[in-house]
């Protein structure tokens, strides 16, 4: 999880136009349509990626984490950037920026992909869905909002000047995630669509508990079954209250979101991947479309593709550690005590009752089972390279 600050001050919102002073400070933070809702439900608000979001509620972080694994939790992810790519050449635009095979997506099917630069670095990770409404629906990270918009807008201008039919539209909806093994059961009570026919990484527009025009995507950031619901901003609180009316559902914040995604082996942009890491170094080779690899027609392909079969100088790995929990930037050492890398994310696992982490080590020390060490407060602790996810994922797929 990105480091959260205590200075939470003037709150502006592109959606509400309002601002609110919470305490002294200098940072201008945006608020989601659910800001007042969070406060009324005991949300502890913190600064995150330019937004004011709840880090937790009245329940402890561990209680919230375990509730998500056992039942389901509701997260506000409205800070994420939602955009539409429109026009006849929308796939051409997206494939000029990402590593995935967007052309192969069926209607209402999505995929995780990566914006990359010419040096092979990861500009951002994003989900692209090929909707049946003649546009691509894109969700990307709040912390990368400005550079993502600039990247896409510049490419739109470039393609338009070449005579292509393409456009970009920002979506002003709120976005909430309902995550956990009972999420589908909770949601099914409020929709007429059969959610058994909506597998992982597919999407549909439907009425949700009487709120029309919601895009429901079977995906999430916890490793559990669940959905993300793009809902008109003015109806977000209504929908959240209706979902919360089910006893299976509790609110969850950034703290649980971070430990859940780490147990699931999922990257946080800015911590585990960035513009100086490639998809291969980040153990994200599976995001590279086979056709795209063969054609080498995505940004940075000349750097990225040769790495697939080459010897890596560094690679993202999972770690299990003993002793005190390790945090971002903690050194990783080999058995002889030589520094060979650094931790990028780490926390105690509420499910495993062990410390889990991920980080980068040199290629010679990346095999699961390799004994290593980590340094915490200048003390060395035992660590071992572990397969990820640490906790098995439970995404819903059609049998």
CA distance to 149, 206, 251, 284, per residue, from 8 (Å): 25, 36, 21, 35
166 within 8 A of 88, measured Cβ to Cβ: yes
Q: What are phi and psi of 398, to 5 degrees?
A: -75, 130
CB 124 within 8 A of CB 140: yes
CB atoms closer than 10 angstroms to residue 376: 18
Per-residue CA distances from 202 to 109, 130, 169 (Å)? 4, 9, 21
385, 366 contact by CB (below 8 A): yes
Choose among 320, 273, 334, 5: nearest CA to 125: 273
**Alpha-carbon distances, residue 386 vs 29, 137, 367 (angstroms):** 38, 35, 8
Distance of CA 179 to the CA centre of its chain: 13
- Say if residue 336 carries a ligand binding annotation: no
Q: Binding site for substrate: residue ranges?
A: 228
Provide the annotated binding site.
228
């Amino acid at each position: 999880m990105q480091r959260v600050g205590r200075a939470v001050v003037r709150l502006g919102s592109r959606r509400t136009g309002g601002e609110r002073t919470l305490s002294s400070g200098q940072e201008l933070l945006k608020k989601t349509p659910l800001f007042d809702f969070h406060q009324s439900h005991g949300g502890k608000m913190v600064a995150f990626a330019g937004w004011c979001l709840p880090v937790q509620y009245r329940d402890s972080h561990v209680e919230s984490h375990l509730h998500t694994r056992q039942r389901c939790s509701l997260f506000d992810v409205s800070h994420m950037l939602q955009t539409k790519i429109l026009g006849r050449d929308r796939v051409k635009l997206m494939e000029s920026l990402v590593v995935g095979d967007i052309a192969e997506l069926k209607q209402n099917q999505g995929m995780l992909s990566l914006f990359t630069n010419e040096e092979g670095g990861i500009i951002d990770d994003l989900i692209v869905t090929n909707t049946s409404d003649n546009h691509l629906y894109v969700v990307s990270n709040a912390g990368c909002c400005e550079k993502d918009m600039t990247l896409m807008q510049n490419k739109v201008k470039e393609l338009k000047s070449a005579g292509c039919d393409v456009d970009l539209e920002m979506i002003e909806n709120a976005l909430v995630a309902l995550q956990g093994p009972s999420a589908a059961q909770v949601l099914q009570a409020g929709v007429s669509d059969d959610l058994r026919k909506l597998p992982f990484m597919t999407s549909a527009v439907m009425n949700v508990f009487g709120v029309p025009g919601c895009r429901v995507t079977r995906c999430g950031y916890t490793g559990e079954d669940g959905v993300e619901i793009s809902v008109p901003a003015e109806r977000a609180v209504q929908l959240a209250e209706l979902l919360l009316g089910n006893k299976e559902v509790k609110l969850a914040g950034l703290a649980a979101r971070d430990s859940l995604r780490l147990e699931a082996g999922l990257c946080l942009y800015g911590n585990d991947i960035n513009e100086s890491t490639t998809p291969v170094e980040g153990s994200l080779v599976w995001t590279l479309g086979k056709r795209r690899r063969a054609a080498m027609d995505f940004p940075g392909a000349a750097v990225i593709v040769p790495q697939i079969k080459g010897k890596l100088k560094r690679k993202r790995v999972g770690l299990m550690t003993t002793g005190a929990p390790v945090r971002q930037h903690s050194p990783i050492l080999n058995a002889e005590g030589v520094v060979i890398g650094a931790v990028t994310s780490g926390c105690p696992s509420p499910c495993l009752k062990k410390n889990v982490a991920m980080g980068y080590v040199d290629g010679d020390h990346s095999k699961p089972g390799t004994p290593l060490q980590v340094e915490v407060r200048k003390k060395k602790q035992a660590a071992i390279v572990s397969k990820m996810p640490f906790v098995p994922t439970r995404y819903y797929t059609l049998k």
